[in-house]
């Protein structure tokens, strides 16, 4: 039996280390190089999200789950609250940094690192006390992304490590319970909806369209509920 939560600690550390390296490299990387790297990451992010979305068994679930969730997110003003948290952190720890740059780095990195199949599956594995292979893989990927984001957005990216610690730590605490709540179909549709959210992150990175990412988060809760209600219980949708 290993240490429960070790994967979360490793992932948090990789984001901190990667972000620090990126900040140190920031001024040494020409603007045109930073721009093209972000564009490549944006395209890759869209591709990864699309890959997850296409695994759905019925597009109705991610569609309605995300639409209903987005409406809830706007009612609750989740995006505004996330930006408000980012601004509070900036004023407390990084007063000299441009507000827009700091908040963008904090919110975008937090959502990118906390949305996706590996976040859920890694928490279940981490809660078991087994070697946290999934979070080690995720931590390696997040660390690399943190280098790039740190070079572009600065200190705000470092504080996304706090988001990773809180979100993944909380999921790990309830990992065993989470595993029992989600059946295979619910996971598939949840990950498909997460893929849609990841695509939205990619669109924002490419600056194609500004999407209020925080408002999409309730969709990750709504979708499994819809599956439970209409696929598992009634069989109306398959």
Spatial distance between the Cα atoms of 233 and 235, rounded to a whole number of angstroms = 6
Spatial distance between the Cα atoms of 228 and 230, rounded to a whole number of angstroms = 6
Per-residue pLDDT at 17: 96
Per-residue pLDDT at 37: 85
Per-residue pLDDT at 169: 93
Per-residue pLDDT at 98: 82
Average pLDDT per consecutive 10 residues, the chain (238 residues; last block may be shorter)? 83 96 85 86 91 94 96 95 91 82 91 88 85 90 91 91 94 85 91 93 89 92 93 62
pTM of the predicted model as reported, rounded to 2 decimal places: 0.84
Spatial distance between the Cα atoms of 122 and 113, rounded to a whole number of angstroms = 12
- Do 94 and 157 meet the contact criterion of CB atoms below 8 Å apart? no
Angle between helices 60-76 and 219-227 (to 10 degrees): 140
């Amino acid at each position: 039996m290993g240490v429960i939560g070790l994967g979360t600690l490793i992932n948090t550390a990789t984001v901190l280390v990667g972000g620090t390296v990126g900040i140190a490299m920031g001024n040494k990387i020409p603007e045109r190089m930073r721009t093209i790297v972000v564009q490549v990451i944006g395209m890759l992010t869209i591709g990864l999200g699309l890959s997850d979305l296409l695994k759905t068994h019925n597009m109705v679930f991610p569609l309605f789950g995300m639409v209903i969730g987005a409406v809830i997110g706007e009612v609750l003003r989740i995006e505004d609250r996330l930006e408000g948290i980012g601004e509070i952190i900036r004023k407390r720890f990084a007063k000299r940094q441009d507000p827009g740059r700091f908040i963008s780095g904090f919110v975008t990195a937090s959502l990118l690192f906390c949305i996706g199949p590996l976040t859920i599956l890694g928490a279940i594995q981490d809660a078991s006390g087994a070697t946290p292979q999934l979070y080690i893989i995720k931590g390696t990927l997040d660390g690399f992304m943190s280098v790039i984001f740190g070079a572009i957005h600065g200190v705000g990216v470092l504080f996304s490590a706090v988001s990773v610690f809180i979100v993944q730590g909380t999921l790990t605490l309830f990992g065993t319970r989470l595993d029992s709540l989600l059946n295979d179909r619910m996971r598939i549709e949840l990950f498909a909806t997460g893929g849609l959210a990841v695509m939205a992150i990619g669109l924002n990175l490419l600056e194609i369209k500004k999407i209020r990412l925080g408002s999409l988060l309730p969709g990750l809760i709504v979708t499994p509920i819809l599956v439970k209600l209409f696929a598992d219980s009634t069989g109306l949708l398959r």
